[in-house]
Amino acid sequence: MVSRLRWVVCILVSVSLVIVMSIPTQAKQKEEVKALLEQKLEEKEAIIWYLGHSGWAIKTKNHLLIFDYVETETKPAEPSLATGNINPSELKDQQVFVFVSHSDGDHYSEDISAWEKSITNIRYIFGWQAGEKPNYVCMEARQSRKIDDMEILTISSTDAGVGFLMKVDGLVIFHAGDHAHWGGAMDPFAKEIDYFAQSEQEFDIVFLAVAARRDQRWESITQGVFYTLKKLLPKVMFPMHAGGKEHIFKEFAQEAEMKKFTTNVHYAENKGDRFFYQNGKIQ
């Protein structure tokens, strides 16, 4: 009994030590994020954070864009972009656009509507009819919209909802949602990519699903991504949609490397990983 008690005390002391030691690190990370959010960016520059699965945050010259964000694990005590989490109070001074490609649970959570309590300037762009509110924009496939200085164009996803192309602050960004070549004929997938290829000349950053939801890589998905890279010739690509198995991103990047595409494939290894895009490259 005594020795069991000693074990419990030992474990409690260790856990407390870990928590106490991590507090200064978290505070430092939050300070770094604050400085990055205040940093002045030029046209064609972006800071990109990986938020898990298909979730991304992108700061451009005038905006903060968030894509397909879902809380997949227990939120840390101090959520921050530094840990790959959205903490609305951290973003309260940003001009935020939240994009949600479709309503599947790995891309959308209703919690995001509460962000507007903290963030004054926030708008939501949904790839389906998500409801009517002054700050909601609901888009169908192959629609275009201009919101302030941002142009948005959609394609029909091979899964549900849409894929988003947006032109903002000198950048052309494509987040594919669940538009992937899941199998069968390539045509339904390819014709949407061709539509974007005809619509736009230069793609800066693309985010493409490289695995099925339960982290399996399928040959058809890879072929679809390779087709997209050949067709759109984006400067930079980030693999996504691996259900938290980020090693899949590295595997994909290594495979793409051998194909000698003009696109540079970069990959996240952990939630909160950050990338700086400038001069057509991740610096």
68 binds Zn ion (CB under 5 A): no
Interface residue with Zn ion among 45, 68, 178, 273 (CB under 5 A) is 178
Residue 164 or residue 277: which is nearer to Zn ion going by CB?
164
Question: Least distance from C-beta 161 to Zn ion, angstroms?
Answer: 10
Interface residue with Zn ion among 45, 68, 90, 106 (CB under 5 A) is 106
And the tokens for 232? 């759109």
Stretch that binds Zn ion, among 56-64, 66-74, 106-114, 199-207 (CB under 5 A): 106-114
Residue 136 or residue 182: which is nearer to Zn ion going by CB?
182
Residue 41 or residue 66: which is nearer to Zn ion going by CB?
66
- Of 162, 161, 146, 160, nearest to 196 (Cα)? 162
Residues in binding contact with Zn ion, number by CB under 5 A = 3
User: CB–CB of 35/89 below 8 Å?
Assistant: no
Q: How far apart are CA 39 and CA 161, in angstroms?
A: 34
Question: Least distance from C-beta 210 to Zn ion, angstroms?
Answer: 12
Question: Least distance from C-beta 155 to Zn ion, angstroms?
Answer: 16
Q: How far apart are CA 264 and CA 266, in angstroms?
A: 6
Question: Least distance from C-beta 156 to Zn ion, angstroms?
Answer: 15
Question: Least distance from C-beta 179 to Zn ion, angstroms?
Answer: 10
Strands (DSSP E) along the chain, which ranges? 46-50, 56-59, 64-67, 96-100, 122-126, 136-138, 144-147, 150-156, 162-168, 171-175, 205-209, 236-240, 264-265, 274-278, 281-282
Stretch that binds Zn ion, among 84-92, 126-134, 177-185, 198-206 (CB under 5 A): 177-185
List, in order, residues 6 or more apart from 99 with CB less than 8 Å away: 65, 66, 67, 68, 125, 127, 164, 166, 175
Residue 159 or residue 169: which is nearer to Zn ion going by CB?
159
* Stretch 190-229: interaction string toward Zn ion, x if CB under 5 A: -----------------------x----------------
Strands of the sheet with 171-175, listed across from one edge: 144-147, 150-156, 162-168, 171-175, 205-209, 236-240, 264-265
And the tokens for 109? 């959570």
Question: Least distance from C-beta 143 to Zn ion, angstroms?
Answer: 21
Question: Least distance from C-beta 178 to Zn ion, angstroms?
Answer: 4
Pairing of strands 171-175, 162-168: antiparallel
Contact residues toward Zn ion (CB under 5 A) are 106, 178, 213
